[in-house]
Copies of this chain bind each other. A is one copy, B any other.
Amino acid sequence: MGLDDRKLAVLRAIVEDYVATQEPVGSKALVERHQLGVSPATVRNDMAVLEEEGYIRQPHTSAGRVPTDRGYRLFVDRLSRVKPLSPAERRAIERFLVGAVDLDDVVHRTVRLLAQLTRQVAVVQYPSLARSSVRHLELVPISTTRLMLVMIADTGRVEQRLVEMPGPIPADDVLDLRRLVNEKLVGTRLSETPPLVQALVDEATPDLRPAMATLSTVLLETLVERHEERIALAGTANLTRGGLLDFQGSLRPILEALEEEVVLLKLIGEVEPSTLRVRIGDENEIDNLRAASVVSTGYGPGSTIVGGLGVLGPTRMDYPGTIATVRAVARYVGDLLAQN
């Protein structure tokens, strides 16, 4: 029942070969390409055990072995050594990220970088509003009854929203409103604003109250309810590498999943403190992604986390390399955010 060291070595060899060649691997090829120190027959016996335990399987009777999701899991947990980034990769990361002028810019560059380095689909979540604090609120008159509300968060996010006021609103009132909301809300985390917004309405002078009431509704929608999480995506063309063998022949379900923001958020948005998550095939909760693996992690300045990022690829992926890249990129982006 327990797998001895050699069986584990065999499993590792199978995973590595299969990832590299994309073809079922047989006992003979295995002993030729790895120094296992035993004969093919012995390897075959080990393979039989591994298969019985569900770590590998045979596509057809007379074919070599292929890792199962469970096999990849074991590989990731116990058999893969960290693959250090190549200097070239390190340089690429730095080159790509310096010179970003903007949060938008940072996110776009990051997602393209990730896609390029891992040669897979990359997903980056903008810093979550729920984890941001209000830095400044601005009210800009658009017409007599319309204001543009602009919220700037400490994470660099900027959200805007049109506010339709109940009646014409004088310039002085706009200034008052702006002063009030800024005094009350600047510096607080968005998730903690609702009671404060309510207080704003209660404390408003009678002549400002209707305006403040309308404004507060929009504030709540913008800051909290709408949960305006944004997401950037890149590298979908990478799904077509490996010519339809990956993803059991159809890109359809994958592409469909990638179009749903909700799904993407679920993929990379659920971030526990500084952990890196690997979800392999069946482990994905989303049915459409049962043929894919996702490597994701949180990022943020210092040790705090403001959002998630990750990549999606075939279960047959280079886990050590991908994990190293995702981790490194997340750290670089965090450092970049810390500088602001």
Contacts and interface: CB of A to CB of B under 8 A. Distances in A.
Interface of A: 101-102, 135-136, 138, 140-142, 148, 150, 152, 156, 158, 160-162, 234-237, 239-240, 250-252, 255-256, 258-259, 340
13 contacts: A101-B161, A135-B142, A136-B141, A138-B140, A142-B152, A148-B152, A150-B152, A158-B160, A235-B259, A237-B252, A237-B259, A240-B250, A240-B255
Contacts of A256: 237
Copies held by the complex: 2
Contacts of A102: 160-162
Nearest to A140: B136
A150 B255 CA distance: 35
Contacts of A140: 135-136, 138, 152
A252 B251 CA distance: 11
A177 B256 CA distance: 48
A60 to B, nearest CB: 24
Contact of A148 (B158, B250, B251): B158
A150 B138 contact: yes
Nearest to A259: B237
A138 B255 CA distance: 39
Contacts of A340: 162
A239 B252 CA distance: 8
Contacts of A234: 259
A236 B236 contact: yes
A101 B222 CA distance: 11
Contacts of A152: 140, 142, 148, 150, 160
Given A138-B138, A150-B152, 11 more contacts: A102-B162, A136-B140, A136-B148, A148-B158, A150-B158, A234-B259, A235-B259, A236-B236, A237-B252, A239-B255, A240-B250
A101 to B, nearest CB: 6
Nearest to A108: B261
A138 B239 CA distance: 42
Contacts of A160: 102, 152, 158
Contacts of A255: 236-237, 239-240
A138 B158 CA distance: 13
